[in-house]
Amino acid sequence: MKAGGLEVANLVALLGLAAAAAITGSVTRSLRGLAAVLTKLTAGDHAARASATGPAEIRQVAGLVNALADEGDRLRAQEAEASRLRTVARDAGLRVQEHGRVDDLMLEAKEAIEKCALADVAYLHVMHDALLGQPAGHDWVLPDGLLDVVRGEGQQLLRDLLQRNASMVAADLASPECNGVPPHIRDQLVAAGIASQVLAPFGSGSELLGVIMAARMHAGRPWTDAEVSAVESIAAEVGRGLHHARLHQTENHLVEQLRAVDQVKSDFLATVSHELRTPLTNIAGYIEILRDQDAGPLTPSQARMLETVDRNTARLRHLIEDVLTLSKIESGAFKTMMQPVSLAGVVVADATALEPLAAAKGLSFTWREPDHGLVVSGDAGQLDRLVTNLLSNAVKFTPEGGSVAVTVECADNEAVLRIADTGIGIPGCEQKELCNRFFRASNAVERSIPGTGLGLAIVRTIVANHNGELEVVSEEGKGTTVTVRIPLVGGRRSRQTLPELPVAGRSWQA
């Protein structure tokens, strides 16, 4: 008995050891399987899942591993969707900013919201006269009176949201627990078939410009934070784009008004200048008759008075010609008829004509005729006007006892005209305005020196028409030197744009 009992005990022990070994092997294999799955997940194989086999504890661990893997997939999908929506919102914002018209901008924003599946329908309301305007978007599916209710109760809410850079999300309008939406408004939205919506106001600074309403027509699709953020981002871009579009439209409107006013002014100047020329011609004719004493002899006193009338008639004629020339420049009727012209001949003729006036003021007026013609390709009438304006300015702004020196020469295939005076000069802070129309230096105004402020503006245009360069160097109280360079026939230069304005206190080129 004792020997048999011992054998049974040994057999039981062996069976226990075998069972323990089997269980240990099963657990080891399960743990190895879990370890392999975890290794794959760590390496980026997000599809790996653990087998729910083995002891209960192992199956429980496997379930937890699989649950964590599923949650990781969900978070990655969520982040991918959020990234997609950010990209959509950014691209939509760029497209919105490209539009200069308000209607195009609103249509772009509406389509962006719907195309990226943020909403089934989207409405954009823009403020007009301090009230929300009619929607830009789909046909209005809401009750007609709802907009009036929103205008009365909702605009302050929208302003508050704009101040906080927030939006209002109604996740389930059919639920009585839907907060933030008054029941009488919620009932109308539900009756129209809207299940949920996001209201995102947009504006410029603290000014409310409008609101985006993104609506979903089917329940069971909650708004995610990424979707709400995308709607808010598009709304912000709409606010910026709308502000810029309105500024652009206002600017264009003002430009058109200014052009119309400028055209009226130009037409007026042209008409007045033209109408004044006829009576002025008659006055000049009668002055000539009186000076020739065809109507009888003149006393010395009468001759002096007639000389004053003749001088002021010439001033008036010069003013009229300046204004008429300016109106032609502005209207595009100032044509340049190019042909070979002797610039030297033009300078000699104009200097000869102006020499008596300089002598009457007691000025030292020096000039010399060049030894060659200095032929340029130009308009003889315009070049004559250019030289006359510069010479008359030099004489007019040089006090008695001063000097005016005129030279014209050839340099680097260019005809170079230089007129230097010892006149009153131009204040440095005003030199940048020199070629502006109607500009007159303050020291000239203080001394009551007559003028229109058009001379240099006309000169600048003539120089540009002849592919030339204009340079003015001036110092208040010491004088001014004006240099004009025009290519000789056969010379080469091409200037396509008008010059920059002068720099205060320095010489400048035009």
pLDDT digits 0-9 by tens, 257-300: 888 887 787 777 777 777 777 888 888 888 888 888 877 888 88
Q: Which residues contact 192 (CB under 8 A, 6 or more apart)?
A: 141, 142, 143
Cα–Cα distance between 116 and 147 in angstroms, integer?
Answer: 26
Angle, helices 225-291/300-331, rounded to nearest 10 degrees: 150
Task: Name which of 113-117, 270-274, 280-284, 429-433 the model is least confident about.
Answer: 113-117
| More reliable by pLDDT, 286 or 81 | 286
| More reliable by pLDDT, 333 or 455 | 455
State the pLDDT confidence band at 438, using cuts at 50, 70 and 90: low
3-state secondary structure of 95: helix
Mean pLDDT of 107-136: 75
Most confident of 13-27, 185-199, 400-414: 400-414
Is pLDDT at 506 greater than 50 in this prediction? no
Looking at residue 140, its pLDDT comes to 61
Backbone angles phi, psi at 508, to 5 degrees: -145, 160
Quick one: 375 exposed, middle or buried, by C-beta within 10 A (0-12, 13-18, 19+)? middle
- Our CA dihedral for 25, 27, 31, 32, rounded to 10 degrees, sits at 20
User: Which residues of 93-239 form beta strands (DSSP E)?
Assistant: 121-128, 131-132, 136-137, 168-170, 196-204, 207-216
Mean pLDDT of 132-159: 72
| More reliable by pLDDT, 496 or 108 | 108
DSSP state of 123: E
Is pLDDT at 154 greater than 50 in this prediction? yes
Looking at residue 484, its pLDDT comes to 92
State the pLDDT confidence band at 485, using cuts at 50, 70 and 90: very high
Is pLDDT at 447 greater than 50 in this prediction? yes
Q: Encode pLDDT of 453-470 as tens digits.
A: 677 888 888 888 888 999
Residue with tokens 């975890």: 38
Domain architecture of the chain: domains with CATH: 2-81 (no CATH), 92-247 (3.30.450.40), 335-509 (3.30.565.10)
In percent, the amount of the chain with pLDDT more than 70 equals 75
Is pLDDT at 499 greater than 60 in this prediction? no
Q: If we measure between CA atoms, which residue out of 435, 434, 507, 441 comes closest to residue 473?
A: 507
Is pLDDT at 138 greater than 70 in this prediction? no
Is pLDDT at 436 greater than 50 in this prediction? yes
Cα–Cα distance between 50 and 38 in angstroms, integer?
Answer: 8
State the pLDDT confidence band at 117, using cuts at 50, 70 and 90: low
Looking at residue 402, its pLDDT comes to 92
- Calculate the average pLDDT of the chain: 76
In percent, the amount of the chain with pLDDT more than 90 equals 5
Mean pLDDT of 428-450: 73
| More reliable by pLDDT, 187 or 480 | 480
CA dihedral for 243, 247, 253, 254, sign (positive or negative): positive
Is pLDDT at 494 greater than 50 in this prediction? no
* DSSP string of 379-422, one letter each residue: -HHHHHHHHHHHHHHHHHTS-TT-EEEEEEEEETTEEEEEEEE-
- Rounded to two decimals, what is the model's pTM? 0.47
Task: Name which of 17-31, 114-128, 255-269, 326-340 the model is least confident about.
Answer: 17-31
Mean pLDDT of 38-67: 75
